[in-house]
Amino acid sequence: MSGAALSQLHLVWRRDEVPHALLRDRLALRAAEASVAFSRRSEQAVELRDAMHLLRPADLPGPAGETYQAWRRAAERSMSVKTLTRALPGTEPEQIAAWLDAGHGLTVTRAAMALEKVLSDAPRATAPALVLADAALAQALGWPHLVPLLASDLKRSDFRKQGEGLRLACHRALIGSVSEAIRLSADLTRRAAHLKAIAPKLQAKGAADAVEIFLSRDAVAPSALPLPARAARRLCDRLVELGAMRELTGRDTFRLYGV
């Protein structure tokens, strides 16, 4: 069943109309939320978004924000040891390469073995272990990017398992997480198509570049757009009126927007 699910997701990744970067970024948020919960912290998606997108240059994102940052960095660029080192700055490249090579055999088995090896060497490194397990999975499937899948449907008790027990837990987790990823891809593809359809009607200078940013990120603060502050806010509000964008916070200030 997990193999069938991954085969279907593989077909999704081959479709040009799917907003791949946006989908990976949205899945990174789900993975970060799960990873934070595994460390017994209470931050939900809304807090993680704030920790990342409202961060000022001199500020630190905090433990939960760092976890979210790791997932986003791991998924946003083509997968390599260099990309994973950037996502996990406290880990040496040689160690990352060794953990990635720890798995062998079939696809999910390789991911489970990488997860087990990292947790064996660093029992508290749950988030890095999950990142590297997804990296091993993507590597086995020949995907150019890491796709955050395992974290969102594993259970805390699964991390105490080894061997066959952990492998079966990864299979079960993938059945659920891949189904959600496919559902999410369909929703984001529809929303992205609507945004692309109305993009030529936007008259603000820099609107085309802003649309490209929205099509690659889970959430965007107006200050991150290549427009003057007032024009950026007006563009975001206009896109909400047109049904091409959602305001994600429910606040009157420090708002975030996403497809």
Q: What is the pLDDT of residues 29-67, one digit of tens each?
A: 999 999 999 999 989 999 999 999 998 877 888 999 999
Please answer whether residues 182 and 12 qualify as being in contact, where contact means their C-beta atoms are separated by less than 8 angstroms.
Answer: yes
What are the sequence ranges of the domains in the chain? 2-187, 202-258
Digit-coded pLDDT (tens) for 135-172: 999 999 999 999 999 999 999 999 999 999 999 999 99
Please say if the pLDDT value at position 115 is more than 90: yes
pLDDT top residue among 23 and 55 = 23
Token digits for 257? Answer: 């927007």
CB atoms within 10 A of CB 126: 22
CATH of domain 202-258: 1.10.10
pLDDT at position 220: 97
What is the arithmetic mean of pLDDT over 208-221?
96
The pLDDT mean for the chain works out to: 95
